[in-house]
Amino acid sequence: MIKRFCSLFFLSMALVLLTTCAFAAEYPAQPIKIVVPYAAGGTSDIQTRIMSKYIKEYLGQDFVIVNIAGAGGGIGNREVLNAAPDGYTVLFQHQSMFSNYLTGVSDFTYNDFTPVCLAIRTNRIFVTKPDAPWKDLKDVVEDAKKRPGQIRLGAEIGATSHFQVMPLQIMTDNAFVLTASKGGDMDRITKIMGGHMDLSVVALSSVVSYLKSGELKALAVTSAERDPFLPDVPTAKELGIDAIFMQDTGFYMPAKTPEDIVATFSKAIGEMSKNEAYIKEIEEKTFSQIKYMDTEEFVKFLEEDFKYWSRLAKEAGFEPAKK
């Protein structure tokens, strides 16, 4: 009787192990939930929905896009942080994870997840009203030094836009009046056009139509090199302003996700990133660039970028959240 029980026990265990191995080997075996921690219709949302048209060819399963907005991306971030590490709940996020942590909004950051790969880069751009007296961002900085407390610089306090205007405050000894906004890029665009702010920084994808219509004027882009979509607009760097920021959006899985699952997902994104139709659609609809980095490259990039954001936070007097 005991011998028979032991045989059945070991047979059951063997079946469990075989089933587990087979399940892992065939990842993904079901559609994958992609958490976009922002409202539908934004840049990140549009990008993932474009991806969902192409990904099945490379991953064998569809993306199911779920928008979980709130707290500057923090609510959606936490949804994935607390998910099972099985590769079926994945976060699509950019550096707002840095700003949330460094300003004390959340008690976790990128290294509390499993970074998977970088997928897309969207440039940032300083804009103002078309009748503003400045030719470019250098003119603004010089004017702010001459007239401290007179120029209203818009940002969402504690969010990525706040960090992206910090270099201007640092180099002018806080000569700008920092004007708070809520609701992301569109709130600041509306306030500039309505005369409630003088300038701000927004995603290029949010503002191209206003630049083309002449309702807004470009002052500088924040990339290291000129943006291919606006080649006539100077970079902040070439104007002598140390403000290099890109919106680098990639995929993150919960901590302790198995390496083979991470590798499978990353490889699929890498292969999709060579698809000309996908590249064209991303560029035309979001004015963004495909910027794939595999897991190893992505982790190194995050480490270096996080150091830069941390330095800015320290200079601005912010304290990170305690884990």
CATH number, domain containing residue 227:
3.40.190.10
- The percent of residues in the chain predicted with pLDDT above 90, rounded, is 76
Is the pLDDT higher at 18 or at 230?
230
76 in Cβ contact with 33 (< 8 Å):
no
Whether residue 138 sits in one domain with residue 38:
no
Whether residue 298 sits in one domain with residue 217:
no
Q: What is the CATH number of the domain that holds 82?
A: 3.40.190.150
Whether residue 253 sits in one domain with residue 227:
no
pLDDT digits (tens, 9 = 90+) for 159-193: 889 999 999 999 999 999 999 887 678 889 999 99
Rounded Cα distance between 223 and 235, Å, is 6
C-alpha distances in angstroms, 142 versus 62, 168, 219, 222, 240? 51, 11, 13, 18, 11
Q: What does the pLDDT read at residue 168?
A: 94
Structure tokens at 164: 């992206």
Domain boundary among 189, 220, 239: 239
The single residue listed with the structure tokens 């320290």 is 314
Euclidean distance between the first and the last CA atom of the chain, given in angstroms as a whole number? 53
pLDDT digits (tens, 9 = 90+) for 308-319: 999 989 988 888
pLDDT digits (tens, 9 = 90+) for 34-47: 999 998 888 999 99
Q: How many distinct structural domains can be found in the chain?
A: 2
Q: How confident is the model at residue 25 (pLDDT cuts 50, 70, 90)?
A: low
269 in Cβ contact with 292 (< 8 Å):
yes
For β-strands 63-67 and 32-36, DSSP reports them as parallel
Q: Which domain holds residue 307?
A: 8-123+246-315
Residue 1 domain flag = no
- The residues pairing with 36 across neighbouring beta strands, listed in sequence order, are 67
The answer for residues whose C-beta is within 8 angstroms of residue 79's C-beta and 6 or more apart is: 35, 37, 68, 89, 91
Residue 166 domain flag = yes
Whether residue 163 sits in one domain with residue 228:
yes
Structure tokens at 238: 């070439």
What one-character-per-residue DSSP string does 87-113 give? SSEEEEE-THHHHHHHTTS-S--GGGE
Residue 2 domain flag = no
Whether residue 300 sits in one domain with residue 166:
no
149 in Cβ contact with 177 (< 8 Å):
yes
Looking at the predicted structure, is the pLDDT value of residue 322 above 80?
no
Residue 233 domain flag = yes
Residue 322 domain flag = no
Kindly state the DSSP code that residue 235 receives in the 8-state scheme: B
For β-strands 177-180 and 217-221, DSSP reports them as unpaired
Kindly state the DSSP code that residue 231 receives in the 8-state scheme: T
Whether residue 198 sits in one domain with residue 183:
yes
Q: What does the pLDDT read at residue 75?
A: 93
Whether residue 132 sits in one domain with residue 117:
no
Whether residue 250 sits in one domain with residue 119:
yes
Whether residue 232 sits in one domain with residue 166:
yes
Asked, as a colleague might, if the bond just before 167 is cis with ω within 30 of 0, I would say no
Residue 55 domain flag = yes
The answer for residues whose C-beta is within 8 angstroms of residue 29's C-beta and 6 or more apart is: 23, 61
Helix (H, G, I), strand (E, B) or coil at 135: coil
Mean pLDDT value across residues 50-73 = 95
pLDDT digits (tens, 9 = 90+) for 128-138: 999 999 999 99
95 in Cβ contact with 124 (< 8 Å):
no
Residue 263 domain flag = yes
Q: How confident is the model at residue 323 (pLDDT cuts 50, 70, 90)?
A: low
Looking at the predicted structure, is the pLDDT value of residue 2 above 80?
no
Whether residue 293 sits in one domain with residue 186:
no
Whether residue 182 sits in one domain with residue 269:
no
Looking at the predicted structure, is the pLDDT value of residue 17 above 70?
no
Which amino acid does the sequence have at 286? T
Whether residue 97 sits in one domain with residue 24:
yes
Residue 82 domain flag = yes
Domain boundary among 189, 208, 239: 239
Q: Which of 126, 117, 134 is nearest to 227 (CA)?
A: 126
Domain boundary among 239, 261, 284: 239
